[in-house]
Amino acid sequence: MSISSSFSTLLERIQPLDSELQQGESHASAIKSRLEKQFSLVKFIMIGSYSKQTAIRRFSDLDFLAIFSRDDARWGGRYVDSRTLLSRVRGWLAERFQQTAMRRDQQALVLRFSGGSFAVDIVPGFFEDMDDNGQYRYPVFSIPDGTGNWLETSPEMHARYFKEADDHSISKLTRTIQFLKFWRSSRTPPIPLSSFHTELLLASEGICVGPKSYAQCLAESFFLLAKRQCRPLRDPLRISGIVPTTKTDLQREDLLRSVTLASDRAFRALEAEERGKNPQAKQLWNLVFNYKFPLYG
């Protein structure tokens, strides 16, 4: 089996199952119904990896943006600490989903269903404004930033930006993101790396454009992260400010060590493949993916 065939096999293995999405949507529907009873829920929008088709089997959460009225985020005419809204939402959901593990993860509430095997993330927010980038008008929402303040975001424009870059790459960008997510999840604990950061970085750099294999795209992605020292990225759309790679500096140090090692092994694998030494190349990719890379047909 060629290196290309091994990557294609891996890609098939990590695609989300229809049953996972159906299960997640069923839980999300119950969450939405519960929120509507207490809050002025304006919209309930799927965002994140499933909306961009970068989700991977078993490891990707189903993310939703719950848009409330501004009054739900105010007290005495002023916006409350964003953690206060998260706490209110958590308390209300906890009364309904008493057997479901729930935690706050910076901007979101994470509800783990089915004994923890599947998670639905809820990001609360409110409509901020309509903006214009010269071609499109798009809604901007305020969501928690993880520290108590509010952060502006526009899932619609970020999704459009990512799709345009993916179309330009003939879908290699989406697949490369999936490989990176599988690499991230192939170790315990998972390697810390923000999906949002990765999507924006690779889209803005055009990593996957041109006649490149998945192996080349992935190797160049590791190299780019290492070259940038895993530094935060300024949102290329100038909407969400600075987008970090990790939640903490310590995590960024761990990430940098991991991507540096992965970059070295990936480029050695490319060199072995060029010399016709496919078994050696596969063994190197197997190390990159922590012994979860398909070696045989």
Task: Provide the residue-wise pLDDT of the chain in tens; the chain has 297 residues.
Answer: 799 999 999 999 999 999 888 988 999 999 999 999 999 999 999 999 999 999 999 999 999 999 999 999 999 889 999 999 999 999 999 999 998 999 998 899 999 987 767 899 999 999 988 877 667 788 999 999 989 999 999 999 999 999 999 999 999 999 999 999 999 999 989 999 999 999 999 999 999 999 999 999 999 999 999 999 999 999 999 999 999 999 999 999 999 999 999 999 999 999 999 999 999 999 999 999 999 999 875
Enumerate the domain spans of the chain: 3-288
Helix 195-205 vs helix 155-168: crossing angle, to nearest 10: 50
Question: Which pTM does this prediction carry?
Answer: 0.93
The architecture CATH gives domain 3-288: 2-Layer Sandwich (3.30)
